[in-house]
A and B are shown apart, each in its own frame.
Chain A
Amino acid sequence: MRRTLPTALVAVLGLVLLLDFVVINPTLATLSDVLLELVVLLAAAAAVAGGIALVVHHVAELAQRRTDPLGSLVLLAGFAVILVAGLYPGSAGTSDPVVRWLVAGILGPLVASLFAMLVVFLLRATGRGLQLRPRQAGLMVAAAFVVIVLLLPLGGQLGSWLASAAGFAMAVPIAGVFRGLLIGVAVVTAVQAARILVAVDGGDD
């Protein structure tokens, strides 16, 4: 019963949505619209529940002084500041100037500085990759080097030759690999969707 009810629900709802995709029927369309609205509501409720769970988790961390009390304190303070800025009487919500300033002045630069570390981490990952599997990582580094050379901002005859070679590399071999990968992923995605629909996946080892 514990597994049968969710399985039956998934199968029935999935088939209703699939049927609506194939058949034009007003009753079916209404039913699938209601189901999709329920999914949106569920996602919204999940977001609120997520926020509450996050606060509860970090309050408990703080109360028991477990791994990182300072981190929990910063998180809770940030949470409170954003909530107050978005919910104080007369606030315009997410479009309030205070919220906009907090996002543009604090959150934006924080995210930008995080992503700025990508170059450093890419070099570190390359070193780790060369240690783990030298042949494949070496090939990857060589390919990256070729692409960098092709994209060098050079002028003259050499520059135009490099630009046309870069265009060819992007349009033919790289696009071919990506296309092949995406087709493979699309096929197994469809299989995975069917397996979820008929509830094949599950722990059984």
Chain B
Amino acid sequence: MDVGRLAGDVIAFIGSQIGASSLRLGPLPTLALLAVLLILLSLVARPSTRWMVRDLGRLAAVGRIMAVAAEAGGEAAFSLGTAGVARAASAHERLQTLAALPILAHAARAAARAGVPLRVTSNDIVAVQLAEAALVEAHRATDTEERRYRSHATYEGEGRPASAGLAMAEPSTPAAAFADGGLAEESLLLLDGVAGGAVWTSFGTASASQISSAQLIGEGTLIGPELYQAPSDLRGGSHLRTGVLAANRLLAIAAAVIVLGSLLTLAGFDLAAALAGR
């Protein structure tokens, strides 16, 4: 085999492909697009919430509520909304299902640790497979694989009314109820059915027209962008949260010093000279 010739062919192929290409949006818009991607990737590199630490959707209480559910012998219910992953819904709606998966993973780990059966429902078979994977991973991560088959992900069938109807017809009362993902006109019925008299609820959606349903029925709510922010908050341990809080205070103090210094300078006080002892 002639390695030199192979390398030459590869370079010639790449050259011919570049020669056969042109920028779809022109140089400036392409650069702008790449700049936006760079900014996004920098956000990705620091996924923890920077400016504030909140208990989004009351998810910090999931561990405690699962322990309470275990004592009462109850189960937990989790609905992944009605948009699914491979259904004929808009990309914006379907991405909410993916955003809900880390929240499901968090709830599944808490349920696995406490020994609470978790019932996950979705009207999309791909979402159900992802939920099954999350359940398996949760039991593997918590060394509770013997309890794996007490939790399950169930496909409800096609259509949004199917999800709402089955949620309303569910006979059992969960101790904790979650519903996160894309919702549509059936949201009130679905959320009411999933809640079904649960002691504790946490609902989240970024579907703008259905936010009021989550706010009316859910105790903890993830509204709009919060559905996407919550997984970042869940990632940090308590020491990371403390670090973020401490950094926030330092930033606030630094900002106050800058503002005060600017005001003093504007008032004609030579702050630099005073600090230098001149």
A residues at B contact (CB < 8 Å): 21-28, 42-43, 46-47, 49-50, 53-54, 57, 67-68, 71, 75, 110-111, 114-115, 117-118, 121-122, 124-126, 128-129, 132, 136-137, 140, 178, 181-182, 184-185, 187-196, 198, 200-205
Chain B, range 77-129, C-beta contacts under 8 Å to A: 86, 92, 95, 98-99, 101-102, 105-106, 109, 124-126, 128-129
Interface size on B, as a range, is 35 or more
Bound Cα distance from A118 to B47, whole angstroms: 39
14 residue pairs A–B, Cβ–Cβ below 8 Å: A21-B24, A22-B30, A42-B86, A46-B86, A53-B155, A57-B155, A68-B171, A114-B161, A114-B189, A137-B216, A140-B215, A185-B224, A194-B40, A200-B47
Q: Which residue of B lies closest to A122 (CB)?
A: B188
A185 CA to B228 CA, complexed, in Å: 8
A195 contacts across to B, CB distance below 8 A: 44, 47
**Residues from chain B with Cβ under 8 Å of A136 in the complex:** 215
Contact pick for B95, options A23, A122, A137, A192, CB 8 Å: A192
B204 to chain A, nearest CB (A): 12
B125: which of A50, A126, A203 is its contact (CB, 8 Å)? A50
9 A-B pairs besides A115-B161, A184-B225, A203-B106 with CB distance below 8 A are: A50-B124, A54-B155, A121-B192, A192-B98, A192-B228, A194-B37, A196-B98, A201-B101, A205-B106
Flag if B125 contacts A53 (CB, 8 Å). yes
Contacts of B30 in A (CB 8 A): 22
Of the listed residues A49, A71, A191, the one surrounded by the most CB atoms of chain B closer than 10 A to its CB is A191
**A67 adjacent to B161 (CB under 8 Å):** no
Residues of A within 8 A of B24 (CB): 21-24
A184 CA to B224 CA, complexed, in Å: 7
Most buried by A among B95, B106, B124: B95
Q: Report which of B44, B211, B234 forms a contact with A205, defined as CB distance below 8 A.
A: B234
A54 vs B22: C-alpha distance in the bound complex, in angstroms?
Answer: 48
A61 vs chain B, min Cβ distance (A): 10
Cα(A126)–Cα(B192), bound, Å: 11
Complexed CA–CA distance, A185 and B214 (Å): 16
Which of B10-49 touch A at CB < 8 Å? 17, 20-25, 30, 33, 36-37, 40-41, 43-44, 47
Please report the C-alpha to C-alpha distance between residue A190 and residue B271 in the assembled complex, in whole angstroms: 44
Which of A117, A125, A193 neighbours the largest number of chain B CB atoms within 10 Å of its CB? Answer: A125
Distance to closest chain B CB from A196 (angstroms): 6
Partner of B40, one of A21, A42, A181, A190: A190
Query: Is B189 in contact with A118, judged by CB distance below 8 angstroms?
Result: yes
Query: B179 near A: Cβ within 8 Å?
Result: no
Closest chain B residue to A125, Cβ basis: B216
Nearest chain-A residue to B63 (Cβ)?
A205
- Cα(A190)–Cα(B39), bound, Å: 11
State the CA gap A114–B189 with chains docked (Å). Answer: 8
For B125, the chain A residues whose CB sits under 8 A away are 46-47, 49-50, 53
Determine the distance from Cα of A118 to Cα of B172 in the docked complex, in whole angstroms: 22
- 5 closest Cβ contacts across the A-B interface? A50-B125, A129-B216, A188-B228, A125-B216, A25-B21
